[in-house]
Amino acid sequence: MARRASSGVNTQGLLIGALILVVVLGGAYWVLNRSPSAFDAKPVNVTQAQENGRSLAGNQYSVSGTLIDRKIRSEVGQIVALKVEEDGMTKILPILLGKDFQSGNLSLQEQYSFLIQFNNVGVAVALEVKQM
């Protein structure tokens, strides 16, 4: 007995193709609309850090912004001020770069992303830094 030729559109193939297209487009939308961050740590709440940094002690966070000030203190290392946009407002977060911190040359008015950890006093201490 001869087999009949298939006449018509393969609906199962079309459904699988449409599903793959939706997944790819959704993934691309998610990647393109994420805020840029160089680290996988949770973003810091700058308002909470300013009000009570001690409550964040021991936790690691990421923060991105513009470097607006840098002071070198021989006894502690460097202290930098990062201008961060949070909830439509500009906030300033001081970050301590210890004496042994190897970050290269940080330039004012450049965008940086820091991986920070709050010490027992409530001061943000840089663990890593990347220029954006």
Residue 132: what pLDDT? 82
Question: Quick one: tokens of 72?
Answer: 């070198």
79 within domain boundaries: yes
Residue 112 domain boundaries: 46-131
Phi, psi of 54 (to 5 degrees): -65, -30
* Nearest CA among 60, 52, 116 for reference residue 84: 116
DSSP for residue 8? S
Task: Return the CATH number at 114.
Answer: 2.40.50.140
52 within domain boundaries: yes
Between vectors from CA 132 to CA 72 and to CA 97, what angle results, nearest 5°?
25
Share of the chain above pLDDT 90, in %: 34
The domain total for the chain is 1
104 within domain boundaries: yes
Question: Quick one: tokens of 27?
Answer: 């993934």
Average pLDDT value for residue range 6-17? 78
31 within domain boundaries: no
Strands 89-97 and 124-131: parallel
25 within domain boundaries: no
* Nearest CA among 98, 104, 64, 70 for reference residue 83: 64
41 within domain boundaries: no
15 within domain boundaries: no
| pLDDT tens profile 80-124 | 999 999 888 999 999 998 887 766 678 889 999 999 999 999 899
Provide the β-strand partners of residue 129.
Answer: 114
| 81, burial (CB in 10 Å: exposed 0-12, middle 13-18, buried 19+) | middle
37 within domain boundaries: no
